[in-house]
Chain A
Amino acid sequence: MVHTLVNFHIFPLSHRKKLTERSEASTQVSEFSVNAEGEGEKVKLSDLLGKMEKTPKNLNKTKKQLKDLEKKSDTLELPLSRQEKEKIQREVAYVKTSTEVSRWESVVTQNRNAEQLVFPLIQEPSGPKRIEQVVSGWKAQTPLEQEIFSLLHCNLQPTHDPVLTPVEEASLKAMSLEEAKIRRAELQKARALQSYYEAKAKRERKIKSKKYHKVQSKAKRKEFLKKFEDLCKTDPQAALEEFKKMELLRMEERMSLKHQNSGKWAKSKVIMGKYDLVARKAMQEQLEMNKDLTQKLVVPSEDEEQEQEEPKALPDFVNDPEPVGDPANPWMRGQLSAEALGPEVSHEVEQEEEEEPENEEEALLREFEQKRRLRQSEDKGFEPVVSEEQEVDEAENREAEEELSEKGEKDDEDGLAEFKNLFNRLVEPVILETGEEQGDEGLEEGLVRIHSLDDTELLANDHEASLVEPVPSDTSNMEASACPPSKNSKKVKVIDPSEVLTKQAKVIKVPHAPMMVEDEEVRNEQTTIIKEAFAGDDVVSDFLKDKRKLEEDSMPKVVDLTLPGWGEWGGVGLKPSRFKRRKFRIKPAPLPPRKDQKLPAVIISEKRNAALAAHQVCQLPFPFTKPEQFERTICSPVGNTWNTHNVMRKLTAPKVVTQMGAIIEPIAKDDFIKDKNPSKPQPNLQLTKDSSLAKTAPPGHKRRKK
């Protein structure tokens, strides 16, 4: 494309002709009146296309497009009608405004829900201001002031706010957000690395190549040895630990039947050995290995050489007999014989170490040599003298094989061990629990101590009531007749006068008996009272009669609307039929039960207090739907008689508070709709920070600069 464009560009340039200049000045220059003047030189699209035909074929696409364009004779669509255009515009405008308005929503709801609004909404922070805020042009002028300020600024000590120094603040912010983020990132990274490593290990484990594994294990061993040596130098204690581990491994090896010709591989080799020399050899090797391994390890006592080599790296206690062997094995203690495999081992190690720098070619060469030697030995029919190296190699080989073969077994074993472990872990708590439960049950079977009346109820629920002693009921204290009336009896219940005022009186002993003969007048009064009292025959029956009468009066009456003589014969001695009577008798709904229904000696008036109703609320304000809700909100008193002062102030706080004389401006948008990027003012601050630091840095400094 670039190519063609360049061509396009160049093409008209080469044939450019001078443009005609307009000499006359005209007020109206119509776009339609402009014409191509040199008609012969007019550039046509076909010309251009012709040029394109010569260009390579990767332009085909463009050509095609252009051709299509040429062919096309579509007319433009008609513009939309005014109504439709306006409709679309309205829609767009609506969306725009609604988003704009909805941004206010949170502010509005917040203000609506606010318990109190203080206008103007944005207020100057209360409290004393710093001197710099009040006095604009203040500078430290006296030398003493300057001195002090320079000192303070050197240490970044805030002068006015008694806040902390930056250092202190930093220490306070021991775990700031940033730091937390960093830490999290680190952790994430570590986890990722671990997973990578795991994946890699898994992949490697799956590789079947024996050689690969051989090389790998060899490298590993080398590395390990190197590390071990380093460790010996740097941290003898850790090295000792490591050594112990190795020892333990060796012991395990010795204990196991790994090289005892009992494995699958070994057995097969035994069979093969009859015919196959290599197999026989391998078998022999293994036997030797076994021999080696099962030989008693004599702990190397103070190795003079080592001591000489590194007298200060290893402390004395390393050579102490005790920690060298396995502490668990009493036989290993105190054996200090000098003859040992140790040097051999070290020799091997040395050799291996020597191998390190060898490159591959050398290794190959050596291999050939070994093969040659083997062949020779075969020829001789001697017991093969295998170099130590090869031995090692072979051993590794075998090991790898064994590993492969024993993997299955091991897995099984592992699985079993795990299972056992799990089982044990599961069983132990179960046993514990059962033990506890048993204990609990044993405890629970004991007698239950009753602490309160509630407990007795519980007991009664659990066992039958027979267990519990009947609680002395308080009912004897109450009126005996207070028991609810039997419902099945339709008759009007009549209270027995003997059931009223049955409360047993307790006699009080009085220390002084009244000796006074009461005054005559008083006595006269008393006698009149007594007369009054016994005017009625029986006070109780009178009262009950009154009560019954009242009850009857308050009962709603049955209205009988039967008209005798309608539809049947009427007259003296003739009653309307029962059907008719029943049909035309209107039974009113029964009243709710009287308040004094269960109180025989009490008459409670059922009249509604109309005077009070005038003061009561009879219509619920807006959001309330049930009277209980409204009652709930007005039930707690507001006045200071029942509340502490602060609570009273809070209860009676006005919904809107305005400051005297303050101008209440409408809410400014940029003041309140800031929630989306609250950090907006901060960059401003940050910018000023550096500059301000430089500026405020002691006025003294400035001067010195000047």
Chain B
Amino acid sequence: MRRDVTFPDLFTTKMAAAEETAFGRTHVEEKKKIPRRYWATTAEQKDGEGKNGALQKEDSTKKIREAWWKKKLEKKKKKKAKKSVLEKKDPFPGQAPIPVERVKKFVRGDVDKVTSGVQGKLKKILKRSQAVSTLAQEQAARHDLLLPEDAGFLEGDEDEDTCTIAQDDIADAVDITSGAKYFNLNLSQFGPYRLDYSRAGRHLLLGGRRGHVSCIEWQSKALISEINVMEAVNDVKWLHNEAMFAVAQKKWLYVYDSKGVELHCIRKFNDVLRMEFLPYHFLLATASSSGFLQYLDVSVGKEVTAIGTKMGRLGVMTQNPHNAVIHLGHPNGTVSLWSPNQKEALVKMLCHRGAVRSLTVDKTGMYMVTSGLDRKLKVYDLRAFKPLQSYFLPAGAACLSLSQRGLLCASMGDVVQVYRDVWGTSVKKPYMAHRVRGAVAGLAFCPFEDVLGVGHAEGFTSMIVPGAGEANFDGMALNPYASLRQRQEWEVKTLLEKVQPDLIGLDPSMLGTVDRATWQQKHQERVQALGFDPLAHEKFKPRRRKKGRSSSGAVEKRKRKVAHEDQRDVIRHTVAANLSKEQERKKRSKAKLKAGVERCALKRFQK
């Protein structure tokens, strides 16, 4: 049929066609396309190139274009008909499903509130951003799989309390390297000792009350430096890395390098009792006996703010790692929260009837644990500022510390106790307990290790606490095994990513919000300048109708039809959501019933 038809041939072909139809094979002409083969293009190319050398380039561009078009078309076609008969079916099509709980971990913000009733370009933008963020969440959840390390805990035999297991037994039972993590430093001369672990957990800084300061790489037990500052030492703290540390001495604040060389004596900071280093802001916060809370920017060496708290001697201090807010404990039983941006406390909460002796905040910034002179240990929810748990300790806790995985250690005199899950269920017994040689003055969990460091009057004790440290460290953030080069680069990077002290506040995500007050003000100004509100929702004005149909009643009726559209929208959404929830719940309960024990006639009498 496809051959060329010359004019006189026309009639005969027509007749042939008629015959064909008459015989009734099919109406439709059979169109059999010969699949395009590779040699087709090659021949074409050859021809083109053989004919004309000058036109070659043009031809090639044309060909490229054609190829491009073809590819596009093919893509379209593929999209249309992806399935072919012979294709093997995947028994598990698509990607592996991710558990909902894991995805929830990465969810940020609520979408549906925003996208309802939006149109045009904005809708497109919102949709796209939503798509990308869901993809990000999904991917993050998918890759959460790559953190397989799980923490285990000490488990005793039947009728055996884990708190009665001695450190020596644990050290004997575990492998040599882990066993070596339990050790005592007998430093009875210059005690009691304060201590601080570096952020990566490799280095230990010890500061004796009577002036003994030493840096130790505690895992290899290599002494890096050891000095005596010949003055009373109130507190010691590592700065952003292991190269520098700050020592709060009797009068001033000093900064030394890891070799023990004095770098700075900061005269603006006097009578410092406690220090905290805010690593992302490069701020050293100090609390002095004169009631001043001061912030020192370590990267530039300038005092950021000095806040007179007017709360007396500030001997209890900790930081909230989540939002870099400083918590101070006061003798009148209150705990106050401070940021460098505000001269008054962000929050003051009454926690104890007596003075606050110690406090600590968990890594996520959700829980705060305080202990007071009233011998109580309290757990607060920092989101609602409400107490969650309250415990009575016979002797009261002098020092508190929380580990990365939420183990709480409390010291009572010379006894160190470790508690598990203090905010979940109420605890009755400690998870572990250990008696050290002298009264405890400093407590700290080592990051990324199952180790608790205890500084006391007779020196230092390193305890093994199974399940204390985070097993999965983020090598990009903090790498305990970083090489020298990596450490150097890390320092530069963190300096570049330094967060301004202005951003410290109760809610760290405030930066992602629009400044409503200013926005509103600007909007008001704009409205005044324009003479109308560009964002105002246009009020519904019913069309004027003739023949008496625009009577006030009718108009009112028409208005009623579209009244409260936004509210209706919200209601519709919530109703739909509730309905779906209910249905899901029903389905689940049904499934449970089905999965449960078989029905029997007597079942109804059981309760």
Contacts and interface: CB of A to CB of B under 8 A. Distances in A.
Interface in B331-370: 331-334, 339, 341-342, 344-355, 357
Given A503-B387, A612-B510, A508 B393 contact: yes
B413 A518 contact: yes
B327 to A, nearest CB: 13
Nearest to B389: A506
A632 B126 contact: yes
Interface string B58-75: 000000111111110100
B386 A506 contact: no
A536 B385 CA distance: 24
Contact of B40 (A175, A596, A604, A693): A693
B39 A692 contact: yes
B114 A529 contact: no
Contacts of A671: 65, 69
21 contacts: A175-B85, A185-B26, A185-B27, A188-B27, A501-B351, A506-B390, A507-B394, A508-B393, A514-B414, A530-B355, A533-B332, A605-B347, A629-B122, A631-B514, A632-B126, A640-B476, A651-B132, A671-B65, A671-B69, A692-B42, A696-B42
B34 A689 contact: yes
A625 interface: yes
The listed residue with most B CB atoms (<10 A of its CB), out of A161, A455, A530, A644, is A644
Contacts of B45: 132-133, 136
Given A628-B113, A628-B114, A514 B395 contact: yes
A686 B133 CA distance: 46
Given A512-B433, A625-B122, A685-B36, A607 B510 contact: no
A330 interface: no
Contacts of B128: 115
Nearest to B606: A447
Given A516-B414, A688-B43, A506 B392 contact: yes
B378 A503 contact: yes
A692 B175 CA distance: 76
Given A651-B132, A688-B44, A615 B500 contact: yes
A612 B140 contact: no
A607 B135 contact: no
A123 B64 CA distance: 7
Interface string A166-199: 1001011011001001100110110000000000
A514 B413 contact: yes
Nearest to B440: A516
A509 B161 CA distance: 12
B512 A635 contact: yes
B435 interface: yes
Contact of B161 (A156, A479, A511, A681): A511
A185 B21 CA distance: 13
A503 B390 contact: yes
Contact of A629 (B35, B118, B500): B118
B32 A178 contact: yes
Interface in A680-694: 681, 685-686, 688-689, 691-693
Interface in B405-455: 412-415, 417, 426-430, 433, 435, 438-439, 441
Given A122-B64, A508-B392, A519-B192, 20 more contacts: A159-B38, A178-B30, A185-B28, A503-B378, A508-B377, A508-B391, A543-B333, A602-B349, A607-B344, A615-B500, A615-B511, A625-B122, A634-B512, A635-B509, A642-B136, A644-B143, A688-B40, A689-B37, A695-B39, A696-B43
Interface in A512-563: 512-516, 518-519, 521-522, 529-530, 532-536, 539-540, 542-543, 546
Interface in A419-450: 443, 446-447, 449
Contacts of A626: 114
Contact of B386 (A451, A478, A540, A604): A478
Given A539-B332, A542-B332, A631-B512, A522 B126 contact: no
B511 A616 contact: yes
B127 to A, nearest CB: 10
A489 interface: no
B26 A130 contact: no
Nearest to A623: B122
Size class of B's contact patch?
35 or more
A171 B414 CA distance: 85
Interface of B: 24, 26-28, 30-47, 49, 64-71, 73, 84-86, 108-109, 111, 113-114, 118, 120-122, 124-126, 128-130, 132-133, 135-137, 139-140, 142-143, 161, 163-164, 192, 209, 312-313, 315, 331-334, 339, 341-342, 344-355, 357, 373, 376-378, 384-395, 412-415, 417, 426-430, 433, 435, 438-439, 441, 457, 476-477, 500, 502-503, 505, 509-519, 522, 535, 585, 589, 592-593, 599, 603-604, 607
A530 B426 CA distance: 29
A685 B40 contact: yes
Given A510-B417, A530-B373, A539-B353, A623 B121 contact: yes
A616 B140 CA distance: 27
A539 B373 CA distance: 12
Contacts of B514: 616-618, 620, 627, 630-631
The listed residue with most A CB atoms (<10 A of its CB), out of B70, B509, B512, is B512
B20 to A, nearest CB: 13
Contact of A616 (B65, B135, B357, B510): B510
B585 A511 contact: no
Interface residues of A, number: 130
A500 B36 CA distance: 86
Given A519-B439, A641-B477, A543 B500 contact: no
Contacts of A633: 125-126, 129
Nearest to B426: A506
Interface string A127-139: 0001011001100
The listed residue with most B CB atoms (<10 A of its CB), out of A615, A636, A650, is A636
A532 B44 contact: no
A464 to B, nearest CB: 18
A643 interface: yes
A591 interface: no
A454 B390 CA distance: 28
A646 interface: yes
A650 B522 contact: no
A497 to B, nearest CB: 10
Contacts of B373: 529-530, 533
A632 B519 contact: no
A505 B355 contact: no
A200 to B, nearest CB: 18
Contact of B136 (A614, A647, A696): A647
A608 interface: yes
Contacts of B161: 511
B418 to A, nearest CB: 12
Nearest to B387: A503
Contacts of A533: 331-333, 354-355, 373
B111 A632 contact: yes
A160 interface: yes
A226 interface: no
Given A125-B68, A632-B109, A633-B129, A454 B585 contact: yes
Contact of A599 (B143, B192, B386): B386
A691 B108 contact: no
**Across the A-B interface, the 9 shortest Cβ-Cβ residue pairs:** A514-B413, A692-B43, A696-B39, A516-B414, A627-B514, A618-B518, A616-B515, A636-B133, A132-B42
Given A479-B387, A529-B373, A623-B120, A510 B395 contact: yes
Given A508-B392, A617-B515, A172 B502 contact: no
B511 A612 contact: yes
Nearest to A697: B39
A603 B348 CA distance: 5
Interface string A624-667: 11111111111111001111101100110000000000000000
A628 B33 CA distance: 56
Contacts of A628: 113-114
Contacts of B136: 636, 642-644, 647, 651
